[in-house]
Amino acid sequence: MQKEFRFEPELIRLAELVRLRGAELFVVGGRVRNSLLSLPLSDTDITSALRPESVQELCAEAGLKTVPKGIAYGMVEIHTGHKKYEHTTFRSDTYAAGGAHRPESVAFSDSPYTDAFRRDFTVNALYASVLTGDIIDPTGGLDDLEARLIRTTTGDPELILRDDGLRIMRLCRFAAELGFDIEPGTFEAAKKCAPLLADISAERVRDELVKILMADTKYGLPAEESVLRGLRLLDATGALDVILPELAECRGVEQSPKFHKYPVLEHIFHTTAMSKPELDLRLACLLHDAAKPVMLERNGNMHGHDAEGELIAREVLKRLRFDNAAVEESAWLVRHHMFDLDGRAKDSTLKRRFARWGRARTLALADIRDADFRGSVGEYIEVRSSQRWRSVFAGMEAAHTPFSESELACTGQDIMEWLQLPPSPEIGRIKAALLAHCAVRPQDNDPARLRRLAQDAAGRRER
């Protein structure tokens, strides 16, 4: 596999400075791999035999800014122009027992042939000389690129996976993003080492999970070949049991064949892959049926799994340290994904709900309905209820329907003046009533009409 590398002037200048210190600068990892595969380039990681102090010295002499990101581990971030490069000195690592990532000790080296065997997978252990373009391949990564195979850099895969339990999720993620197979020995080692994921911080697990959920956006593979593949690999390696035990409980739980082609877990995977590539939506799809086993055991059926599912979704997403906005939006979608399942709600009911929910949530709920139905049959189909929702929504937009109290042609202060009322919860109740009214009759959203409606609402409450 041949490739002519073309490096940017900033990097070439840096390589020339390194050469003046008697060393050779290499680009390593994802940028080399992606260049060889003609994929979009990832961040540029660079490496050489220079110790971090020497890197800082040469950059200072050249007027380049450096940021010590991990001097003890040989890591220095170099700023040159508008570019940033992370330089790591060749090294070998020693890890303590357990799956946590931080090395117990580090020994700097003068050779990429030593450095390569501390890295995770052969396709990420390729080195390209910045000045010559020559490739150094200590672990057989070029052959694995040709074979489209993910393999650990050492003969014993467990050695690599034990050093950092997160590498099990990275294994699944690279297979999903690149469409590669996993070498059998590496796969078996991943199954054996999966419990080590319990040692990994929630934030690191979260970040890898997000990359798997969005795998189709990385290099453009269809979601069924990337997202679905990644989720199935999490399950097959046993990683799912450690990071998302709530979903592992869904494994093998059968559903009515009248409505579902797959058991619960496989349905969840298909639903997630068939949803739009938006993170909140995919998180909601991943968790939307997580409560089905709980409800089945509790009640003998799955009714109420949406309400119970909201609680599970909140617990899972908070445990994985997702931000509050992601927790709220995803859990809300889980809670409401069964709304109007049979498509029989009246237009007036839909309009009031949509106005109360707002534009974004209304459309997101239509999206999860599409994904849920498609994930039930395993193919892209037109979903009648969501089609109808979108039609009603479009009509509301065309009629300039207010979708929030802030879009009403009056404020809380107006209502207080009209009704001679002090600030109180009553003002909020009246505004909510006005919004519900205008959802169905948007032509009434003018100050004069709203004033009469507010007076009527206040009068009814007094009676």
Distances (CA, A) of 363 to 211, 213, 333, 357, 400: 24, 20, 11, 10, 17
Q: What angle do CA 268, 273, 276 make, to 5 degrees?
A: 115
Tens digits of per-residue pLDDT, 159-185?
Answer: 999 999 999 999 999 999 999 999 999
What is d(CA 301, CA 47) in angstroms, rounded to the nearest whole number?
58
What is d(CA 264, CA 271) in angstroms, rounded to the nearest whole number?
10
Per-residue pLDDT band at 98 (split at 50, 70, 90): low
- Please give the average per-residue pLDDT across 221-249, as a whole number: 98
CB contact at 8 A, 265 and 252:
yes
Instruction: Report pTM.
Output: 0.92
Tens digits of per-residue pLDDT, 69-96?
Answer: 888 888 999 998 888 999 999 998 776 6
Whole-number pLDDT of residue 463: 43
b (16+ CB within 10 A) / e for 159-191 = ebbbbbbbbbbbbbbbbbbbebbbbeebbebbe
What is d(CA 3, CA 161) in angstroms, rounded to the nearest whole number?
30
CB contact at 8 A, 212 and 169:
yes
Report residue 23: phi and psi, to 5°. -130, 170
- Please give the average per-residue pLDDT across 229-256, as a whole number: 97
